[in-house]
Structure 1
Amino acid sequence: MVVASATRPARLTLETQAIAPDTTALRCLDWDRERFDIEFGLENGTTYNSFIIRGEKLALVDTSHAKFRDIYLEKLWELIDPTELDYLIISHTEPDHSGLVKDVLAKAPQVVVVGSKVALQFLSGFVHQPFQQQIIKNGDQIDLGHGHSIEFVMAPNLHWPDTILSYDHGTQTLFTCDVFGMHYCNDDTYDSDPEVIAPDFKFYYDCLMGPNARSVLSALKRMGDLPEVKLIATGHGPLLKEHLTDWVENYRIWSQAQAKAAATIALFYQPGYGYSDVLAEAINRGASKTGVVVEPVDLTTTDQQEVREIVDIAAGIIIGMPDSTAQTSLSTILATAHNKQAIGVFETGVVGSEAAYPLFNQFRDLGLTPSFPVIRVAEAPHEALLQQAEEAGTDMGQWLLRDRTVKQMKSLDTDLDKALGRLSGGLYIITAQKGDINSAMLASWVAQASVEPLGVTIAVAKDRAIESFMHVGDTFVLNVLEEGNYQPLMRHFLKRFPPGADRFATIKTYPANNGSPILADALAYVECTVVNRLDCHDHWLVYSTIETGRVSKPDALTAVHHRKVGNHY
């Protein structure tokens, strides 16, 4: 059954369907969503899935996004009596899944909220009211009756630190929330056409799960202890049953390759403490763009042997300052770290937390290489601070992969190198502004791509800071450099800027219609809007339409970049 929103017919809809005995899916279909967090420029919308399980007792697995409040709650209370709801299982507390928890509690105050310790801590901060709760650990079970015994599998860092999976022994259904999901919205409840959804499945994995490849493998190992799984009920996109084995095996293969091939950053922090979560997420996002594996670790709950093992394999260590209860873990990290590793430290905005600078200096005295200055947190994180955190993660990732980058530069045949080097291009500066944050990049892989509408393509390396400013719907300015007058701008924008630094502090600019900086010394500029992105392995090929433009010197020529070899810039 599909219910349409009265305000946006056929664009915010809700589908209910029986997916197993005594089990009903409520799928909120968001047809027009174009962006999801900073990672995703969406082409096919998304869904938010929650589930009702009826035994002698009644359980609801997750809720939905707040934008579906009216139609979701109306349908939920039509399907079940709120006074009979016994359990609300929280797979994780990201708002797109827990956005209506407070509304459910208002109608069903007797419900027991079930989740990991970290999830319930997070949730308390969201709902701001007392509620009945039950903390579960790996292997714990809740018996709903009529054969529906729900067993819980801990899956931290997929992709939040509080994630759990829930397995119904009665129907052999595994409820996974973000894990195995995808941002894909259509009328098919299941994975009937794998060729159509496979690109979205892979893109979702690459953005959210791949950066935590070792955590994925740990979760798959715990899943292996379960009986047969016949249906994976995801939190986003279609449910998986037609080709279930293939999807799970893809996760295994991709994660094994990622964990084996990439350098690892151990990201230690205390979930739920100050602003540690949002800063850790930004650092993780920035580091992951470079191709390293980021292993988030809870400083307060992780066994000390596991802490030692993670530090031992890590090429880089980043620590968010915890409270005094994590002192044992900090001592273990200090005792295990060695001088071939990189180090970074960030504050969490809590008065009384462990001091950042003394710890940072201890690691430096051990011979570890500082990757970025200590990130100071004096107030609630704003866009500029989050950009600084993201760029700090990128800086460490690039530093860890520096030897691989040099090796790749030397890897191609000499004749092929020289042949590719003859593919010359112009010289351009891409500039972008979002609110109070900005970014820029020197570019030469630029070409006009369409006439109607006017459009250009730009190849952007995945580890460039400006990549986060060039998702579908974003705007930017393409500044054209002038032959014979480009060296000062080129030298400036080739510099390595500290994380979060203003690229335009000493450069003369004026604002474009779309808000991005126009370089006053550029030969010409065009204002662009990102329409699509193509994954080209180590680059994104960004196709953008042109809104307007201007030439300052009609008779001047565009600067041209001639390379000697073609396997690096």
Structure 2
Amino acid sequence: MVATPIKTEKRLTIETAEIAPDTSTIRSLDWDRDRFDIEFGLQNGTTYNSYLIRGEKTALVDTSHAKFRQLYLDTLTGLIDPKEIDYLIISHTEPDHSGLVKDILALAPQAIVVGAKVAIKFLEDLVHQPFERQLVKSGDSIDLGNGHIIDFVNAPNLHWPDTIFSYDRGTSTLYTCDAFGMHYCSSSIYDEDLSAIEKDYRFYYDCLMAPNARSVLGAMKRMDKLGEIATVANGHGPILRHNVQELLDRYQKWSKAQTKAEKNVAVFYISDYGYSDRLSQAVAKGITKTGVAVEMVDLRSAENQEVHELVSRASGIVLGMPPLSSSDHQDITANVGTVLAAVKEKQIIGMFESYGDDDEPIDPLLTKFSDVGLKKAFPPIRVKDTPDEATYQLCEESGTDLGQLLTRDKLVKQMKSLDSDLDKAIGRLSGGLYIITATKDSVSSAMLASWVSQASFEPPGFTIAVAKDRAIESLMQVGDSFVLNILEEGKYQSLMKHFLKRFKPGADRFAGVDTQTAENGSPILNDALAYIECEVVSRMECSDHWVVYSKVTAGRVSNPDGMTAVHHRKVGNHY
């Protein structure tokens, strides 16, 4: 039975349900959250899922976000006397799942905190008080009685370095925290409506899991040793029960595609320090958009040998600057030294400050990398204030620049392949000339487009093919708005020249351009022949492009006698 939701003015609610024998979920529903970590397209809120397993002993799997403190604690104490909790299983220590650990331990000081070695270390810094603990790894188990034997599976970097999965043999339920989740808030506890959730499921994967594709495959290989998985009790969004195998298979497919990339980049960050993990995730997302694989490593917990091996086979390095004052400073510094010792000529390097006045200075270390032959991939990112949407977009665009630098040789090779009859034939496909403009919160972007086609009459709609590595792609998620500016024959050259140039990460695309603001908030180019305001309805993946279908909400022609500019190409293997 589902309990009556407890409501607050901020649309934070709690619901509980029995999802398996002796197993309940406490779902904290955050209906209005419009941003989570680096994701700009969070249209449907999110949830924070926690679980109670009752055998002869009782285990609580994860807690909730601190914003739900009173709601969560009231709900938990209504379900169970905290003194009866024997184990508190921590899937990972990111605050949205472990934000109430200290509160739980105040109510249940007898509870044994169960987690990976790294998680327990992180919790010591979070809780600042003694607590009973049990370190677990793949192959370990805890018997709660009544058939509830909990097996543990290491799943590092999904998406924090300390993640573990927990599998209940008695109910065939796998507790996965961030993995196989999505930011989607609704009254549905389960995934019965696949069509409603699949775009959010994919977007969540692209933002948080794609940069850790190798780790995803490693964790899924270890999952194969478990029994049947009837339910995936994730940490965000609907619990997976109706489409378990389908959605697991999608992770496998997407991750395999990521790991087949010819180039890879090692991204080093420091979990739980400033905003290092979020900034690095944004950079990594930008890199993966170019088809380059990413391996993310926490400098705080990584072994020197692991760091050395990864750097030695990487095509590029991204390094978040470590703090000078830290209890782990010696280990972190040693790993930075290992990175410097393992790099080799012709690799490329990108660096960022992870927010804090005591960051290791960028310039001296960047000079050391330059001295051994590394090329700077993007200007160092220096963040001294709390990152906003523009900061994360800067990081994503910097990552994309790095990825494009690594794949430039492949593009040049394509461009030189002019003898193919097929390429010449495809090049004869012509299209109009358009400029897509979009603004969301404090972030604006634009791109020149010619792959545009009307796709429906009622409602009026059209499709645009957007390359995955375009900066504006992040602003064209389902539900986002933008403007299609139609260029005029004979009057488009200056606009085309402006928007064809390569912009530095974070640069203002509209500097020096005459614009006005559309009703949906995006720029209208005053020199365009016409403009159409649009809302993204759906997206379809086509290898290196997304085909974005949008409905028209408004539009206007500035010159009724004008003709649309037409674009002709010589070959079809590049723009």
TM-score, with length taken from structure 2: 0.85
Decide whether the 8 Å contact of 2:40 with 2:474 is kept in 1: no
Report how far residue 211 of structure 1 moved: 2.7
Mean alpha-carbon deviation: is it higher for 162-171 or for 350-359?
Answer: 162-171
SS, match of residue 220 in structure 2 = helix
Three-state SS of the structure 1 residue aligned to 2:20 is strand
Cα separation, 1, equivalents of 2:440 and 2:290: 22
Aligned to 1:138: 137
Work out whether residues 14 and 26 of structure 2, in 8 Å CA contact, stay in contact via their aligned partners in 1. no
Maintained 8 Å contact 1:168/1:174? yes
SS at match of 1:261: coil
For residues 268 and 251 of structure 1, the distance between their equivalents in structure 2, rounded to whole angstroms, comes to 23
User: Is 1:549 the equivalent of 2:555?
Assistant: yes
Residue aligning to 1:60: 60
Give the partner amino acid of 1:150: I
1:4-15 alignment runs, 5 A limit:
4-5=4-5, 14=15
CA drift at 1:467 = 0.8
Structure 1 unaligned blocks of 5 or more: none
Q: How does 1:176-195 map to 2 (within 5 A)?
A: 176-181=176-181
Give the unaligned 5+ runs of structure 2: 324-328
The structure 1 residue matched to 2:525, chosen from 519, 524, 540, is 519
Matches within 5 A, 1:11-50: 14=15, 16-20=17-21, 22-26=22-26, 39=39, 48-50=48-50
Alignment of 1:42-121 (within 5 A): 48-64=48-64, 76-94=76-94, 97-98=97-98, 104=104, 108=108, 111-116=111-116, 119=119
Query: Quick one: which amino acid aligns to residue 155 of structure 1?
Result: A
Q: Which of 426, 445, 450 is equivalent to 1:444?
A: 450
Q: Distance in 1 between matches of 2:44 and 2:388?
A: 30
Out of 210-219 and 342-351, give the one that drifted further.
210-219
Is contact 1:59-1:85 (8 Å) kept? yes
Q: Please identify, of 541-550 and 179-188, the stretch whose mean Cα deviation from structure 2 is larger.
A: 179-188
What is the distance in 1 between the residues matched to 2:230 and 2:41?
31
1:359 counterpart SS class: helix
Cα shift at 1:23: 2.8
Partner of 1:276: 276
Instruction: Call closer, same or farther: CA 1:321–1:130 in 2, change over 3 Å.
Output: same
Structure 1 residue 332 corresponds to structure 2 residue 331? no
- Residues 50-449 of structure 1 aligned to structure 2 (within 5 Å): 50-64=50-64, 76-94=76-94, 97-98=97-98, 104=104, 108=108, 111-116=111-116, 119=119, 132=131, 134=133, 136-139=135-138, 141-146=141-146, 148-168=148-168, 171=171, 173-181=173-181, 205-223=205-223, 232-236=232-236, 251-252=251-252, 254-323=254-323, 324-325=329-330, 326-409=332-415, 414-449=420-455
One of 467, 477, 487 as aligned partner of 2:473: 467
Find the counterpart in structure 2 of residue 500 from structure 1. 506
CA–CA distance in structure 1, aligned partners of residues 481 and 188 of structure 2: 33
Moved more, 29-38 or 424-433: 29-38
TM-score by length of 1: 0.86
2-structure distance, mates of 1:118, 1:520: 56
CA distance in 2, matches of 1:188, 1:384: 33
- Aligned pair in 2 of structure 1 residues 71, 4: CA closer, same or farther (>3 Å)? farther
- 2:101 touches 2:127 (CA, 8 Å); kept in 1? no
**1:87 is matched by which residue type in structure 2?**
Y
Match of 2:483 in 1: 477
Shift of the 248–470 alpha-carbon distance from structure 1 to 2, 3 Å rule, reads closer
| Contact persistence 2:35–2:41 (CA under 8 A) | yes
Contact (CA 8 Å) 1:311, 1:336: kept in 2 or not? yes
2:130 and 2:518 mapped to 1: Cα distance? 50
The answer to which of 24-33 and 330-339 deviates more is 24-33
1:174 aligns to what SS in structure 2? strand
1:510 aligned partner:
516
What amino acid does structure 2 have at the position aligned with 1:483? E
SS in 1 for 2:278: helix
Query: What one-letter code is carried by the residue in structure 2 that aligns with 1:455?
Result: G
- Report SS of the residue matched to 2:551: strand
Q: How far off its partner does 1:551 sit?
A: 2.7
State the Cα deviation string for residues 489-537 of structure 1 (Å, max 9, x = none): 1111111111111112222323222222222322222222222222222
CA-atom RMSD in angstroms: 3.8
Q: Structure 1 stretch 489-498 or stretch 168-177: which is displaced more?
A: 168-177
In structure 1, what is the Cα distance between the partners aligned to 2:399 and 2:522? 24
8 A contact 2:112–2:134 mirrored in 1: no
8 A contact 2:41–2:475 mirrored in 1: no
* Counterpart code for 1:540: W
Structure 2 counterpart SS, 1:160: coil
Q: For the Cα contact (< 8 Å) 1:42–1:472, is it kept in 2?
A: no
Contact 1:531 1:544 in 2 (8 A): yes
Structure 1 residues 504 and 94: CA distance shift in structure 2, 3 A: same
Contact 1:34 1:473 in 2 (8 A): no
Greater shift in the superposed pair: 384-393 or 542-551: 542-551
Matched AA of 1:267: V
3-state SS in 2 of match to 1:563: coil
Counterpart CA distance in 1 for 2:203 and 2:16 is 25
- Structure 1 residues 537, 74: CA separation in 2 closer, same or farther (over 3 Å shift)? farther
Please say if residues 341 and 369 of structure 1, whose CA atoms lie closer than 8 Å, have aligned partners that are also in contact.
Answer: yes
In the alignment, the residues of structure 2 paired with residue 109 and residue 17 of structure 1 have an alpha-carbon distance, to the nearest angstrom, of 26
Which amino acid letter does the alignment assign opposite residue 353 of structure 2?
E
- Cα deviation 1:197-241 (Å, max 9, x = unaligned): 878766654554333121123323444565776654333466567
Residue 133 of structure 2 aligns with an amino acid whose one-letter code is Q
Counterpart amino acid of residue 462 in structure 1? K
Larger deviation: 172-181 or 375-384?
172-181
How high is the sequence identity, in percent, across the aligned residues?
Answer: 61
Secondary structure of the residue aligned to 2:260 is helix
Q: Which residue of 1 aligns with 2:326?
A: none
Note closer, same or farther for the CA distance 1:12–1:533 as it changes in structure 2 (3 Å cut). farther
User: What SS does structure 2 have at the residue aligned with 1:327?
Assistant: helix
Change (3 A) 1:428 1:50: same
The structure-2 alpha-carbon separation of the partners of 1:446 and 1:191, relative to structure 1 and needing over 3 Å to count, comes to closer
CA deviation digits over 1:347-404, x for unaligned, max 9?
1122333221111111122112211011112222222222111111111111112233
Over residues 108-142 of structure 1, what are the superposed CA-to-partner deviations in whole Å (9 max), with x where a residue is unaligned? 565454444655677688x8885746373524554
Determine if contact 2:141/2:151 at 8 Å carries over to the other structure: yes
Helix, strand or coil: the match of 2:489?
Answer: coil
Pick which of 194-203 and 393-402 moved more.
194-203
Size of the aligned set, in residue pairs, is 566
Greater displacement, 209-218 / 170-179: 170-179
Distance 2:195 2:475 in 1: 30
Residue identity opposite 2:390 in structure 1: A
